[in-house]
């Protein structure tokens, strides 16, 4: 059996190596390293895949979030409602722009925004709701969009972990994660479901004027070269990464399907262990399993991680500290919310190896080890 890794990108590369190597070589031969045709081609290809009007490539997922908020002209003091149970980038970018992050708790089953708390957190300063489609499953977008319309708010989707997931509206129609709100953001960090071979990211929108503004912001606030209409940033997807992504995008559905298959096998293998909860699949979203996350009793979680390590099985805690308890965020004013679910999850979650190259043999070995631990 091969060494088990949390994320294994080697096997995936081997399977498409000739196409990747050729795509990279072509960019190098062309020397169109920055904003070359490979970038525009990939953006077009992703627009078609997602069924969205505009894809604006940028340097990484964190930049995508920052640029989204700049592009919607959010001003210091404006409030953005988001989850406390997320990766730091979601909230960091809000704070960096001088906006006020208003954190809410999550649901214990899907880990997504608690809508009661979102509703209760809306003030006259609220400008946007920022749902994070955590671990690969969409937030409750219908309810979020309805609430946003009611209060005239923007919706910025953090779809960094959910590219390719489908949200299923109550009427049965579907839309890809990140294409429903005002602006969607994603990351092409290597370990993401659609990862490049370095850093990369993108913004999505169906609004022509917002798209034009986002394009200007990622390019130093200019439309005509050296005429700067607003303060922007330098955030580009480089051509080599775009070329890699163009080769990988046609495989994304198959990659996501193999993650789902692995998740369902884990579910079956881990069924019936007292105290252990396998992931819940929502009825209104497909799940692309960016992470396969278990909930175990608080007092057993760290011991399980250590036990698995003795058997050469990596396992990670996403995330050990909710944002409201992070040192960097102690000065952010509280909206008088409590976060019992997020605080409990932070002590109970443990994510198992999840990638496109997991073998059944490896999963059986992992599940046996977990059963042994729970005795």
Which residues lie closer than 8 Å to 272 by C-beta, 6 or more apart? none
Q: How far is CA 259 from CA 112, 171, 190, 256, 287, in A?
A: 20, 27, 16, 5, 9
Pairing of strands 79-83, 126-130: parallel
Residue range at the interface with ligand PLP (CB under 6 A); choices 46-54, 56-64, 256-264, 292-300: 56-64
Q: Quote the least distance from Cβ 306 to ligand PLP, whole Å.
A: 25
Residue 182 contacts ligand PLP per CB under 6 A: no
Residue 61 contacts ligand PLP per CB under 6 A: yes
**Residues in binding contact with ligand PLP, number by CB under 6 A:** 15
Residue 158 contacts ligand PLP per CB under 6 A: yes
Residues 76-135 interacting with ligand PLP (rule: CB under 6 A):
86-87, 89-90, 132
Length of the chain: 375
Quick check: bond before 319 cis, omega within 30?
Answer: yes
- Rounded CA gap, 150 and 121, in Å? 14
Residues 196-235 interacting with ligand PLP (rule: CB under 6 A):
199, 201
Q: Quote the least distance from Cβ 324 to ligand PLP, whole Å.
A: 16
- Rounded CA gap, 260 and 315, in Å? 18
Structure tokens at 79: 């409030």
Q: Minimal CA–CA distance to 211: which of 240, 244, 187, 179?
A: 179
Q: Quote the least distance from Cβ 205 to ligand PLP, whole Å.
A: 17
Q: Quote the least distance from Cβ 369 to ligand PLP, whole Å.
A: 27
Looking at residue 280, the DSSP 8-state letter turns out to be P
Q: Quote the least distance from Cβ 239 to ligand PLP, whole Å.
A: 18
Structure tokens at 260: 């789902």
Residue 322 contacts ligand PLP per CB under 6 A: no
Q: Quote the least distance from Cβ 90 to ligand PLP, whole Å.
A: 5
Give the residue with the Cβ less far from ligand PLP, 147 or 177: 177
Q: Convert residues 160-179 into a mask of x (bound to ligand PLP by CB under 6 A) and - (unbound).
A: xx------------------
Residue 189 contacts ligand PLP per CB under 6 A: yes
Q: How far is CA 204 from CA 65, 147, 176, 237, 239, in A?
A: 11, 21, 11, 14, 19
Judged by the rule CB under 6 A, the positions of this chain that interact with ligand PLP are 60-62, 86-87, 89-90, 132, 158, 160-161, 187, 189, 199, 201
């Amino acid at each position: 059996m091969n060494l088990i890794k949390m994320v294994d990108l080697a096997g995936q590369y081997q399977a498409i190596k000739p196409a990747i190597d050729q795509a990279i070589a072509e960019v190098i031969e062309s020397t169109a390293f920055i904003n070359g045709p490979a970038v525009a081609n990939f953006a077009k290809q992703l627009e078609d895949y997602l069924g969205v009007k505009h894809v604006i490539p940028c340097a990484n997922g964190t930049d995508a979030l920052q640029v989204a908020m700049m592009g919607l002209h959010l001003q210091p003091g404006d409030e953005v409602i988001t989850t406390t149970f997320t990766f730091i980038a979601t909230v960091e970018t809000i704070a960096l722009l001088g906006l006020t992050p208003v954190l809410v708790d999550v649901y214990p089953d899907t880990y997504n925004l608690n809508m009661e708390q979102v509703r209760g957190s809306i003030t006259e300063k609220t400008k946007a709701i920022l749902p994070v489609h955590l671990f690969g499953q969409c937030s409750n977008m219908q309810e979020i969009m309805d609430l946003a319309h009611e209060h005239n708010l923007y919706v910025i989707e953090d779809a960094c972990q959910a590219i390719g997931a489908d949200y299923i509206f109550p009427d049965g129609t579907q839309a890809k994660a990140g294409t429903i709100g005002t602006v969607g953001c994603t990351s092409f960090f290597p370990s993401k479901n659609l990862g490049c071979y370095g850093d990369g990211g993108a913004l999505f929108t169906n609004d022509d004027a917002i798209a034009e503004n986002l394009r200007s912001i990622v390019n130093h606030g200019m439309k005509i070269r050296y005429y700067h209409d607003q303060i922007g940033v330098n955030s580009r997807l480089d051509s080599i990464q775009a070329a890699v992504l163009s080769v990988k995008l046609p495989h994304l559905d198959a990659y996501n399907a193999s993650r789902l298959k692995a998740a369902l096998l884990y579910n079956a293998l881990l069924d019936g262990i007292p105290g252990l909860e396998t992931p819940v699949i929502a009825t209104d979203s497909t799940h692309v399993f960016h992470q396969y996350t278990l909930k175990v009793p608080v007092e057993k979680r760290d011991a399980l991680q250590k036990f698995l390590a003795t058997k050469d099985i990596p396992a990670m805690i996403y995330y050990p500290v909710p944002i409201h308890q992070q040192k960097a965020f102690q000065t952010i004013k509280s909206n008088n919310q409590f976060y019992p679910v997020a605080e409990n999850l932070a002590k109970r979650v443990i994510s198992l190896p999840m990638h496109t190259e997991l073998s059944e043999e490896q999963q059986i070995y992992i599940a046996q080890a977990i059963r042994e631990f729970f005795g």
